[in-house]
Chain A
Amino acid sequence: DAGVIQSPRHEVTEMGQEVTLRCKPISGHDYLFWYRQTMMRGLELLIYFNNNVPIDDSGMPEDRFSAKMPNASFSTLKIQPSEPRDSAVYFCASSHRVNTGELFFGEGSRLTVL
């Protein structure tokens, strides 16, 4: 399998612009997670889906952040409008119920908001 695929790998944008990060989970996995990593706060769970349904979005920082999973093979994380404090590495991860908890991570999307 190709693993979890994220795009873009790097994104530099200006404050106020819309940012869309994309994720393709491993085929057959029924859980999908979005994490954010910063030096100050470490790894934070933003939201996760089970069978394309959002289960817990309590980690989404504010209304500027939204995530969707229109089908089992695709998810997006959108930030509108973006702010400099959103600069971070955003990871997508997927798992399957039989994996006993192991998450498979993508390579991350490094976002820089100027």
Chain B
Amino acid sequence: AQTVTQSQPEMSVQEAETVTLSCTYDTSENNYYLFWYKQPPSRQMILVIRQEAYKQQNATENRFSVNFQKAAKSFSLKISDSQLGDTAMYFCAFGRSFGNEKLTFGTGTRLTIIP
């Protein structure tokens, strides 16, 4: 079974600064997907960024980028130029590559952006 670990329950950073959220996972599979989801106070989970394990290039989406280290089974999220709207819970998730089966989520990191 896959496990996903987020070791930072809470983080805070000043607006406009850069912050990195950590995630490690454990799997015996070679092909898989990794995700970062954002859950703002409104509660709805929103996909932030996705990484396919077979791709060596790190995914980027505007101010969001990942550092994917497959050998180390590490998948961190970097948020640049942080904004107040980035305040949310962030969940790292693992998904198998065959079919849209269940995602395994980490316990989340609560990120607060300070004005």
Contacts and interface: CB of A to CB of B under 8 A. Distances in A.
Contact of B102 (A56, A106, A107, A108): A56
Interface stretch (A11-19, A62-70, A73-81, A88-96): A88-96
A60 interface: no
Contacts, number: 57
Contact of B44 (A33, A56, A100, A106): A106
Interface stretch (B11-19, B22-30, B45-53, B62-70): B45-53
Contacts of A42: 105-108
Interface residues of B, number: 24
A102 B35 contact: yes
Interface in B39-80: 42-47, 50, 52
Given A95-B100, A107-B42, 20 more contacts: A30-B100, A31-B100, A33-B102, A42-B106, A42-B107, A43-B91, A45-B104, A48-B101, A48-B102, A89-B43, A100-B50, A100-B100, A101-B33, A101-B97, A101-B100, A103-B45, A106-B44, A107-B44, A108-B43, A110-B43
